[in-house]
Structure 1
């Protein structure tokens, strides 16, 4: 299965070399290849993963469709999202769906709150200061995010982060995130806990006139007492 990962990488590099000029279209396609899928301190799957994404942007509004596919089949995901950005804030809604986790009887179009495999999250991101500091607050408002007794859990998460840019090509960021209630970040058992500390370095490999963005991340989940190191390539078309 590892061969598939390197085949995807070769194909992506070939396409990347063909797209040397920026496009003015409101549509864009991106592909991330990562050594492991990590999100807010939580591990998804056990193998390298591909994230294809199609997005549309117009006057502050954005919409996207994102997939996540581990090369060994240990994780699959389909996400849809809408957001609006204005000056120092972004508000959005994201729908997360996991085909590999909800069983054969589940249907993508099964939308009853009691039985759906979808999870809808609302989030607000603020960049209120002149320094490159961001604040994010999010909560699940609909779907499969349920307490142990079957009630809606409203799992909530808050994150603060800071990015230091050394130059136009190199940056280091630090993010600290915590769950705010008994949500899925702590398996619906504990309240406030720090669940995500991520130190991320981004740079680019240069191939003549072309640049290949890459990143390396060290991730610590104090609640689960787990740590990870990941590496990612990014392709924008």
Structure 2
């Protein structure tokens, strides 16, 4: 009888262990689902922003390029009119790229090559000023494409990942400090799954009133969290979500995750 009882205990322990593993698996899957859902919400907001502001943005870029080239190009140059037209035509084309849903790296490189080809035709030392202005305007447009997340160059991304490019003061203030607190990190993690109200975050962290607002403000000021309206709930931003993903990779790579 004792043997039968022992076998039964082992059986139930194995069953309990199996159930726990299944519950853990379901919980993890549900968490990933919430993360994807929240990320889709962020993508939706970005898409709506692109849709509403794209045409005025493209118009502004074209107008800005025309005005800057006209005012900044070298005066008293025999080829000024010809060069100004060439630069304006190219920059209007590249401004139009911003209106696309996605810009390929090859397309951006093609226009960089076109600028280089024009540069080879430079006749005088004064030409460098005009090419510098055109290049700066083009880089400004490319930077906007990155901000809108319609363009990403893997090669440039790898180069920017060089440790020598790290700006300590900015990294500490905009990334490290906001997450260097257990309560703020807890809030950020919770928001990665779904939006939360002030009272829900208060219950989650155990913080009240001004104490909770202080930590929330840190996340708001650094752009990791947004509030839908003055009294609305809070949602994680792409920056906040990317920061969490980066922390997860670091956490794994240094052996803290088994």
Q: Same fold (TM over 0.5)?
A: no
Which structure has the higher relative contact order (CA within 8 Å, separation 6+)? 2
Q: Normalising by structure 2, what TM-score? A: 0.18
Task: Answer 1 or 2: which has greater strand percent.
Answer: 1
State which structure, 1 or 2, has the greater radius of gyration over its C-alpha atoms: 2
